[in-house]
Amino acid sequence: MSLLDIDKWNEIINALRKNKLRSFLTAFGVFWGIFMLVIMLGSGDGLHKAVFDNMGDFSTNSCFMWTQRTTMPYKGFSRGRRYNFTNSDTKILKENIPELKLLSPRLNGWGNQEGNNAVHGKKTGAFSIMGDYPAWNEIDPLKITAGRFINDIDIKEERKVVVIGRKVVEALFEPDENPVGVYIQVSGLYFKIVGTFKSKKGGGQGEREEQNIHMPFSTLQKTYNFGDRVGWYAMVAYDDFPVGIVEEKAKAIIRARHKIHPDDTRAVGSFNVEKEFKKMNGLFFGINSLIWIVGIGTLLAGVIGVSNIMLVIVKERTKEIGIQRALGAKPFSVITQIITESVFLTSVAGSLGLAAGIWLVEGINFAMSQGGGGGEMFKDPEVNIRVATIALIILIVSGAFAGLIPANRAVRIKPIDAIRQE
């Protein structure tokens, strides 16, 4: 059958018109199957983007470690004892864990819960004060918009410098004012601004991060009279090692140095980002697998519907097919015609479903961008056109196979028997 044979196409359309309701319901099944697949793929993409956007460029091969009360007595110390990390712990950890790539001690100064703690001219604000090492900006990178981040010389010389977030800049400075090089008061002391930043994270997490004021770790210790105390650690392992190795070695060192029972697993708290990241990847793999299982199941239901309606059409046209065979039509010609009808129905319905699904997803994306770019749990849903097109092609090929059963049934009937059938 030639694709340019107008008479054949008229036959196909007329055959489908004779069974308008059945044709519509079958086409709707195909339409709905690919439409729902596209919607589910877009929804999965929006959820994935929101979750991982909240992480920014955070190092996934990392973990955090902090102190907790001891839960077991040991070497004359009772349970429930408090202790603190110290600068000497930092030195020992660096020297005794070869798998450790980055170590960043951290301290929190008196934060915004204490009221306004930053002043510039007549403007004030309440912000979180963080004491950091340069390594922090490698573990959880910030987008430096002007100046620089804390460096090693700042730590060594206990410089009174700060790096401030976008929200801090907006609260303390005029829109056209350059804050770099300007002095502001932080907790009653003057500090020079050496850099400004934006968060790479999305949603509320990014906004909270942009309300931070970062100062050298050693400077914060001195400013707030923390002595040699360390609040908590962020650690990153080398790429060839899981961070769990670093985590366990660091805990063992801390237990030994602070006279904590070796079996007291609750005295040193930790959070393994790598482990949680793998869980999230596993979760999204499961979500995507479920989407495809449900989507393919729905598509198969549509394809089966196409096969069923083609069986009905073939049965109703048995006499007509018999006459064609008697007049010399070859079996291949009959098979081709029936398969073409099946592919035509599948292609039209599938293309409309694909277009409608993409239109809806893009409409949601546009509406969310107009409203601020989405939230923390759903952001910028998109459909991979390549994947959607492959799904449509598979659907069309399935439609061709769906037409094979009724086509084979049609050519198996002898022409004389088909002519006699009423």
pLDDT in tens, 335-344: 677 777 777 7
Q: How confident is the model at residue 318 (pLDDT cuts 50, 70, 90)?
A: low
> Three-class SS of residue 183?
strand
Mean pLDDT of the chain: 82
- Element of type H or E holding 303: helix 273-316
Q: What is residue 287's predicted lDDT score, i.e. its pLDDT?
A: 80
- pLDDT surpasses 90 at 254: yes
CA–CA gap between residue 99 and residue 274 (Å, rounded): 15
Q: What is residue 258's predicted lDDT score, i.e. its pLDDT?
A: 95
DSSP E strands, 321-386: none
Beta bridge partners of 234: 64, 104
408 and 305 inside one domain: yes
121 and 198 inside one domain: yes
Residue 62 located in a structural domain: no
Judge whether 193 and 149 are in contact, CB under 8 Å.
Answer: no
414 and 295 inside one domain: yes
Range of the domain at 203: 110-223
Residue 215 located in a structural domain: yes
Judge whether 190 and 183 are in contact, CB under 8 Å.
Answer: yes
- pLDDT surpasses 70 at 328: no
215 and 232 inside one domain: no
Going by the DSSP 8-state scheme, the letter that residue 381 receives in this structure is: -
Judge whether 62 and 232 are in contact, CB under 8 Å.
Answer: no
Q: What is residue 40's predicted lDDT score, i.e. its pLDDT?
A: 81
195 and 283 inside one domain: no
307 and 391 inside one domain: yes
Q: What is residue 295's predicted lDDT score, i.e. its pLDDT?
A: 75
Residue 125 token pair: 């604000």
Tally of residues, the chain: 422
Domain boundary among 266, 289, 319: 266
Q: H/E/C letters for each residue in 109-160?
A: CCCHHHCCCEEECCEEECCEEEEECCCHHHHCCCEEEEECCCCHHHHHCCCC
Residue 127 located in a structural domain: yes
Q: What is residue 2's predicted lDDT score, i.e. its pLDDT?
A: 47
391 and 292 inside one domain: yes
- Which of 13-17, 127-131, 138-142, 215-219 has the least mean pLDDT? 13-17
Return the sign of the alpha-carbon dihedral for residues 290, 292, 296, 299. Answer: positive
- pLDDT surpasses 80 at 320: no
What is the rounded average pLDDT of the residues 96-122?
Answer: 85
Summarised one tens digit per residue, pLDDT across range 349-404 is: 888 888 888 888 777 777 766 665 555 556 666 677 777 777 777 777 777 777 77
Please tell me which of 52-56, 255-259, 296-300 the model is most confident about, judged by mean pLDDT. Answer: 255-259
CA–CA gap between residue 313 and residue 146 (Å, rounded): 72
> Three-class SS of residue 248?
helix
Residue 61 located in a structural domain: no
288 and 416 inside one domain: yes
Q: How confident is the model at residue 1 (pLDDT cuts 50, 70, 90)?
A: very low
Q: Of all residues in the chain, what percent carry a pLDDT higher than 70?
A: 76
Q: Are strands 189-198 and 232-237 parallel, antiparallel or unpaired?
A: unpaired
Q: How confident is the model at residue 44 (pLDDT cuts 50, 70, 90)?
A: confident
Judge whether 204 and 248 are in contact, CB under 8 Å.
Answer: no
What is the rounded average pLDDT of the residues 102-123?
Answer: 83
Residue 377 located in a structural domain: yes
- Work out the angle between the directed axes of helices 273-316 and 385-412 (0-180°, nearest 10): 30
Q: How confident is the model at residue 317 (pLDDT cuts 50, 70, 90)?
A: low
Phi, psi of 378 (to 5 degrees): -155, 125
Residue with the bigger pLDDT between 10 and 396: it is: 396
Q: What burial letters (b/e) apply to 152-168, b meaning 16+ CB within 10 Å?
A: eebbeebbbbbbbbbbb
324 and 416 inside one domain: yes
Summarised one tens digit per residue, pLDDT across range 150-195 is: 999 999 999 999 999 999 999 999 998 999 999 999 988 999 999 9
Residue 168 located in a structural domain: yes
- pLDDT surpasses 60 at 12: yes
Judge whether 322 and 415 are in contact, CB under 8 Å.
Answer: yes
Going by C-alpha positions, the residue among 328, 311, 334, 323 that lies closest to residue 415 is 323
196 and 259 inside one domain: no
Going by C-alpha positions, the residue among 337, 347, 330 that lies closest to residue 391 is 347
219 and 230 inside one domain: no
Going by C-alpha positions, the residue among 144, 150, 120 that lies closest to residue 215 is 150
Residue with the bigger pLDDT between 217 and 357: it is: 217
- Which of 102-111, 278-287, 410-419 has the least mean pLDDT? 410-419
Residue with the bigger pLDDT between 172 and 346: it is: 172
Phi, psi of 49 (to 5 degrees): -65, -40
CA angle 108, 110, 112 (to 5 degrees): 105
What is the rounded average pLDDT of the residues 272-277?
Answer: 87
Residue 74 located in a structural domain: yes
Instruction: Find how far residue 76's CA is from the centre of its chain.
Output: 50
13 and 137 inside one domain: no
- Which of 170-184, 220-234, 275-289 has the least mean pLDDT? 275-289
Q: What is residue 234's predicted lDDT score, i.e. its pLDDT?
A: 95
Assign 3-state DSSP to the chain and report helix, strand, coil percentages, each to 5.
55, 15, 30
- pLDDT surpasses 70 at 72: yes
Beta bridge partners of 85: 230
What total of structural domains would you count in the chain?
Answer: 3
Residue 73 located in a structural domain: yes
- Which of 17-21, 25-29, 122-126, 394-398 has the least mean pLDDT? 17-21
Judge whether 103 and 93 are in contact, CB under 8 Å.
Answer: yes
Judge whether 331 and 361 are in contact, CB under 8 Å.
Answer: no
Going by the DSSP 8-state scheme, the letter that residue 380 receives in this structure is: -
Q: Are strands 212-216 and 232-237 parallel, antiparallel or unpaired?
A: unpaired
Number of H helices, E strands in the chain: 14, 14
Phi, psi of 60 (to 5 degrees): -80, -20
- pLDDT surpasses 80 at 111: no
Q: What is residue 244's predicted lDDT score, i.e. its pLDDT?
A: 93
